[in-house]
Amino acid sequence: MEFLKDLRRTHRNGELSAAEIGQEVVLMGWVNARRDHGGCIFIDLRDREGITQIRFDSTIDEAMYEMAGQLRNEFVLAVSGLVESRGDNINPKMKTGEIEVLAKKAEIMNAAQMPPFHIRDDIETSEELRLKYRFLDLRRPQLQKVLMLRSQVNRAVREALLDEAFIELETPILTKATPEGARDYLVPSRVHPSAFYALPQSPQLFKQLFMVAGYDRYFQLCRCFRDEDLRADRQPEFTQIDIEMAFVDQEDVFALVESMLTRVFKEVKGIEIETPFLRMPYQEAMDRYGSDKPDLRFDLELKDLTDIVKDSGFGVFKNTVANGGVVKAIRYPGGGLSRSKIDKELAGVVKVYGAKGLAWVKYEDGVLGGPIAKFFDASEASSIVDHLGLSEGDQAFFIADQQSVAWHGLGALRVHLAKLADLIPDDTYAFCWVTDFPALEFDEDEGRYVAMHHPFTSPRPEDIPLMDTDPAAVHSVAYDVVLNGYELGGGSIRIHDRAVQEKVFELLGMSEEESQYKFGFLLDALSYGTPPHGGIALGMDRLVMLLAGTDNIRDVIAYPKTTKASCLMTRAPATVDPRQWVETHIDFRHPPQSSDDTESR
């Protein structure tokens, strides 16, 4: 190929302007469109930087003109030619709209079949088809911009941390299964029969060991793996910005993360982020917003009406309170939602979180109306109006249940109502830190305490005595950074005292032998001079998703999985040759399904 041997690309297709008129250039890319105007054929040549119009003129070179007649969309083309002005035919919608290139030499570097969908942004093709042909989908300008934005974020993060004396280190991908948190992806060992590696859910213990080893400022842009049910903002494999520091408290972590995110938003989006971020204890976040990742771009706060309605004539409220439950409510400004919409749509939102029903009232002409209004006396009705801040036409929605159900049900309803009322502003970034999480929570199914974050999170020093008397009252030095209703990252100050770590393992139901088997290496490390340390891990994919203005994490990952954790392009996961079962000492009781079915997963 002459264009690879003697003629090298001089510019990308989005770079040329009037400044290059009169220059000889070499361009390469994909045919985005072809227009035959009789005697002149115009080709839009596309690469990741944009589009340049190429003119093939029969009066100048008949052979070139005839060759251009063979071109079709997605052919790979190389062109050498002269940059010329478009004169009066400027296209203001194109970055290169002032110029075109008169082709003098051209070469078809590869032909292309007709794609299964158009390579452009305004397509209505199903996501399944686009994921099957992801290599074509990735040619669309929208996705190319997102992935280039992701690259910019990677660079900005690295530079921000390197400028703060961090060092970038790597941790193992093949490691040991963890007993807490999500399910592990397991990898059978060929050389150790019946033994398995696990893919890391995070580099948590390894980065703590770096602190023990004296590498006091570590970071990594690392791949992590969790075998959990997927949502729009989750993937089975993901990238996190992993950070750990020695000789710090949580304020040092806050300052570092705020500085890093400020730099990322400034360099990538040109947006100034206000710091310091709002701080909010976990209990306050749940009480006010029903979520430990509150979206602060709009109001609509939850209100506790337990004391007001505990003796009301409405049996559901009265009985719930008598049985230790709560009654919480949220105001919907302007009202206007029909009974049918409430019963079919809104009730469905809260039902997911275990709520048995959704009660409601409407404030109209100075009085409460609606299905349950008749159960309140004048004093109770007045208190409800005042406590919720109801104005003319407002509706209010109630959940009477155990506190966790009321929190999460109304928290989800809050976001749903904000979308219905168009209360969420565009291009607004509302950060906050959620702090002071409970260290432990009791798992009814397992009949034991589990760590709310992870078992290496330090309790608040003043709460350590409570570990022997009231474990449920212990709070941790844990924190989440939240942006627009998404947990952007979570971290904590870690346990650096062996006795405290052993006590936490004991509270989690581990025997001394079990904790030694699973975490003996960590306990040993804590015996050899471990400094106070802490850190955080931020979801790179979620960060890019929010910067890109999408609500689907698959839009910002080059090769994502579906909600069933499958890859439609490669058809993974798939069966393997039975010889590999033997080599890795796997004996299937029931042979796996054929990989022919994988695509439908």
Domain that holds residue 390: 298-420
Q: What are phi and psi of 519, to 5 degrees?
A: -130, 25
Q: Are residues 242 and 172 in the same domain?
A: yes
458 DSSP 8-state letter = P
> Which residues 6+ apart lie within 8 Å of 538 measured at CB?
240, 241, 243, 257, 481, 488, 489
The pTM is what?
0.91
Q: Are residues 444 and 518 in the same domain?
A: yes
How many C-alpha atoms does 15 have within 13 Å on its Cβ side?
A: 12
> Which residues 6+ apart lie within 8 Å of 556 measured at CB?
146, 147, 150, 541, 544, 545, 548, 550
Burial 343-363 (b: 16+ CB within 10 A, else e): eeebbebbeebebeebbbbbb
Cβ distance 579 to 560 under 8 Å? no
Q: What is the pLDDT of residues 301-322, one digit of tens each?
A: 999 999 999 999 999 999 999 9
Residue 233 has pLDDT above 90, yes or no: no
Among positive and negative, which fits the CA dihedral 588, 589, 594, 598? negative
Number of domains in the chain: 4
Q: What is the pLDDT of residues 276-289, one digit of tens each?
A: 999 999 999 999 99
CATH number at residue 232: 3.30.930.10
Query: Do the domain assignments include residue 156?
Result: yes
For residue 379, how many other CB atoms are within 10 A of its CB? 9
User: CA-CA distances (angstroms) from residue 392 to 141, 342, 375, 518?
Assistant: 48, 19, 20, 61
User: CA-CA distances (angstroms) from residue 99 to 18, 91, 284?
Assistant: 6, 9, 59
Q: Are residues 354 and 229 in the same domain?
A: no
Last residue of a domain, one of 65, 88, 110: 110
Q: What is the pLDDT of residues 91-149, one digit of tens each?
A: 998 999 999 999 999 999 999 999 999 999 989 999 999 999 999 999 999 999 999 99
CATH number at residue 71: 2.40.50.140
The H or E element that residue 106 is part of is strand 99-110
CATH number at residue 412: 3.30.1360.30
Query: Do the domain assignments include residue 126?
Result: no
Query: Do the domain assignments include residue 598?
Result: yes
Q: Are residues 148 and 275 in the same domain?
A: yes
Residue 294 has pLDDT above 90, yes or no: yes
Q: What are phi and psi of 429, to 5 degrees?
A: -125, 110
Q: Are residues 450 and 536 in the same domain?
A: yes
| Helix 250-269 / helix 540-548 crossing angle, nearest 10 deg | 40
Query: Do the domain assignments include residue 134?
Result: no
Q: Are residues 472 and 542 in the same domain?
A: yes
Residue 230 has pLDDT above 90, yes or no: no
Whose tokens are 């306990």? That residue is 523
pLDDT band per the 50, 70, 90 thresholds, residue 597: very low
pLDDT band per the 50, 70, 90 thresholds, residue 580: confident
Q: What is the pLDDT of residues 40-58, one digit of tens each?
A: 999 999 999 999 999 999 9
Q: Are residues 591 and 538 in the same domain?
A: no
Q: Are residues 74 and 24 in the same domain?
A: yes
Average pLDDT, the chain: 93
Q: Are residues 442 and 551 in the same domain?
A: yes
Last residue of a domain, one of 377, 394, 420: 420
Query: Do the domain assignments include residue 425?
Result: no
Q: Are residues 498 and 583 in the same domain?
A: no
Q: Are residues 524 and 453 in the same domain?
A: yes
What does the alpha-carbon distance between residue 508 and residue 502 come to, in Å, rounded to a whole number? 10
Nearest to 161 by CA among 273, 242, 274, 267: 242
Q: Are residues 348 and 247 in the same domain?
A: no
Query: Do the domain assignments include residue 54?
Result: yes
Query: Do the domain assignments include residue 167?
Result: yes
Confidence at residue 578, expressed as pLDDT on a 0 to 100 scale: 85
Query: Do the domain assignments include residue 136?
Result: no
